[in-house]
Amino acid sequence: MAAVFEHWSASWPVLAGYAVLAAWHLAGLWRLRGAAGGQEQVPASAPASRELRREAILCQLGLLVVLIALVSPVGYLSGVYIWVRMLQELLVAVVGPGLIVLGAPWNALRAVLSRRPLPAGSALPRWLTARPVLLAIAANTIWLVWQLPALFDRAQSAAGLALAEHVSYLAAGLVFWLVVISSRPYQQRTPPLRRVGLVIGSVAASTVFGMMLVFGSGVLYPAYANSAHHVMSVLDDQQLAGAVWWMGILPPMIIAAVALMMEWLRDEESAELSAGLDRLLTPRRHGWPSRPVIR
């Protein structure tokens, strides 16, 4: 229990980055709220106050998850145990960015710089929609490249490299979730089943990596051979780390896949209903020609 109150890291770049982003987001929300209650025009499709509040909580929670992963005892113990390092990376690369994207902070961030919010249903920037498969592959590559023993061990002792690792994890996670789920005011144009394929591919890549660590018989990260491993060996720690990444990435990915399948079913039902209405409203042609009129 004492570990919860000890070893909190004062990482000034992390604390400063969190403070700037959180304050920027809250200032934008305040400005949007003022615009909604004042004389300024707000798009008719603007989200309701309750929806904005829910999104604000999700975004701030995502930022807080990243902060806690880096400055709490999780940050300290990530330099001691490999499995805690994997948990930290999971929070920074997958969980935190997912909550931020669900929190849809884009109009709030934009409101600080511009008075014109983007309308609902706006298309994502072209570089995020042109090649979603390549972007998903790039995000997974960034997640896994940092697991290479040379980079993994080096980032443990080099603060600058560790900061670059965390920033790249966060950026890759944001890009991945932006190509997978909709984030107000942006609306996905990629079909849901294709996005389900991106999720399944990411799970497959993580599963292969996790299995390599769980069933591996050699120590990949010798830099973690420290005095703390008197109960479990470094190999045991490494195998547990593989299980943490392998199993830990499944819940957010499964939730995303289920949501996408529900979206696909809604689209299919909507398309079927539209087709049925079209058939009902279209005048039927008689099978037999009408009898000519005798004059």
Alpha-carbon radius of gyration of the chain: 25
Q: What is the pLDDT of residue 45?
A: 46
pLDDT in tens, 56-114: 999 999 999 999 999 988 988 998 999 999 999 999 999 999 999 999 999 899 888 87
Q: Count CA atoms within 13 Å of residue 183 on its CB side.
A: 27
pLDDT in tens, 188-199: 888 999 999 999
Question: What is the pTM assigned to this prediction?
Answer: 0.84
d(CA 11, CA 209): 30
Q: Count CA atoms within 13 Å of residue 82 on its CB side.
A: 29
